[in-house]
């Protein structure tokens, strides 16, 4: 690819046009630069290319390859979805999510939209709250399954189970290290943390949980919780709660009576 000398030219939308170049595919590409607004790379400059689809295709191919590598890694086997989700929930889809009221209909629409818009480099966080039995886990398993069908790796795990898995890595006989688990959890394109707030909190739990959450800045995470956003603030304190419900997050509250899927039992 031929690079034309970099010269900063002002451009709209907070982007700075760096230069124009011609891509191998023959199209003219404009290369812009913008500051990264959040996450571990906050403040650094990042280049964006507009004009052809090569970059997108390259990213999609990388995602596929990453998925292949992840699927065959030992650490990923610790997150085998069949071991994490009970049998009924593993069959959860948008089609067998039964809505009984407006809040559930809205949640279903948002869930589908999330999948439609899902892109590993455009993080969106969802925070589902509501009483047990309204289908929060059903919806988030359905999302994880649909995102995987699009070709992106996803993990669904309850927070108490996740903490047990981390503790298990301290066992001498564990064939997976804590670092390996964390590297998967931090890098997976979509992580669903089910039932946040249900964990027994102590310093260790908070350190592990918030290390993970902070290191996932820039990636999409879905939370389900029996606690509404305000209750979460009371439970964790405003500062910690705002690391979960951050500027990338949408809060979705489920209301209504206890929930059952068609012929399935849902546990969340
Ligand atoms: Zn191109």
Q: How far is the CA of 40 from the centre of ligand 1 (A)?
A: 29
Residue 187 to residues 98, 155, 221, Cα–Cα distance (Å)? 32, 11, 11
What confidence tens digit (pLDDT) does each residue in 92-142 have? 889 999 888 999 999 999 999 999 999 988 899 999 999 888 899 999 999
Q: How far is the CA of 59 from the centre of ligand 1 (A)?
A: 13
Task: Answer whether 48's CB lies under 8 Å from 15's CB.
Answer: yes
User: Do both 15 and 82 map to the same domain?
Assistant: no
Q: How far is the CA of 51 from the centre of ligand 1 (A)?
A: 7
Residues spanned by the domain of 37: 1-49
Is position 266 within any domain? no
CA distance linking residue 158 with residue 140, whole number of Å: 11
Q: pLDDT higher for 145 or 262?
A: 145
Q: Determine which helix (DSSP H) or strand (DSSP E) holds 167, and give its type and residue range.
A: helix 159-168
What confidence tens digit (pLDDT) does each residue in 40-61 have? 677 888 888 888 888 878 877 8
Q: Which residues pair with 155 in a beta bridge?
A: 191
Is position 156 within any domain? yes
Q: How far is the CA of 243 from the centre of ligand 1 (A)?
A: 38
User: Do both 30 and 80 map to the same domain?
Assistant: no
DSSP-derived letter for residue 152 is -
User: Do both 34 and 166 map to the same domain?
Assistant: no
Number of domains forming the structure of the chain: 2
* Reported confidence tier of residue 230, pLDDT bands at 50, 70, 90: very high
Q: How far is the CA of 54 from the centre of ligand 1 (A)?
A: 4
Cα angle for residues 153, 157, 161 (degrees, 5° grid)? 145
Is position 57 within any domain? no
CA 39 to chain centre: 14
CA distance linking residue 110 with residue 94, whole number of Å: 11
User: What is the SS3 assignment for 146?
Assistant: helix
User: Do both 117 and 232 map to the same domain?
Assistant: yes
What confidence tens digit (pLDDT) does each residue in 161-196 have? 899 989 998 998 888 888 888 888 888 899 999 999
């Amino acid at each position: 690819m031929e690079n034309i000398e970099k010269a900063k030219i002002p451009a709209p939308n907070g982007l700075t046009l760096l230069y124009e170049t011609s891509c191998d595919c023959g199209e003219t590409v404009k290369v812009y630069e913008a500051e990264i607004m959040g996450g571990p790379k906050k403040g650094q400059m990042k280049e964006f290319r507009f004009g052809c689809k090569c970059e997108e295709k390259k990213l999609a191919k990388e995602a596929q390859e990453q998925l292949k590598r992840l699927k065959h890694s030992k650490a990923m086997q610790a997150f085998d979805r069949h071991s994490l989700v009970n049998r009924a929930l593993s069959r959860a889809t948008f089609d067998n999510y039964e809505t009984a009221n407006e809040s559930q209909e809205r949640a279903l629409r948002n869930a589908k939209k999330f999948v439609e818009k899902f892109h590993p480099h455009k993080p969106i966080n969802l925070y589902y709250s509501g009483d047990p039995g309204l289908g929060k886990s059903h919806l988030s398993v359905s999302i994880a399954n649909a995102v995987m069908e699009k070709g992106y790796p996803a993990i669904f795990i309850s927070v108490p189970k996740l903490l047990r898995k981390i503790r298990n890595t301290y066992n001498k006989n564990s064939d997976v290290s804590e670092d390996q688990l964390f590297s998967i959890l931090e890098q997976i394109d979509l992580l669903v943390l089910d039932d946040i707030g249900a964990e027994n909190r102590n310093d260790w739990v908070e350190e592990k949980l918030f290390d993970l959450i902070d290191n996932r800045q820039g990636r999409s995470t879905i939370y389900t919780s029996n606690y509404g956003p305000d209750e979460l603030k009371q439970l964790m304190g405003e500062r910690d709660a705002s690391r979960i419900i951050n500027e990338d997050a949408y809060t979705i509250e489920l209301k209504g009576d206890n929930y059952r899927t068609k012929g399935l039992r849902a546990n969340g």
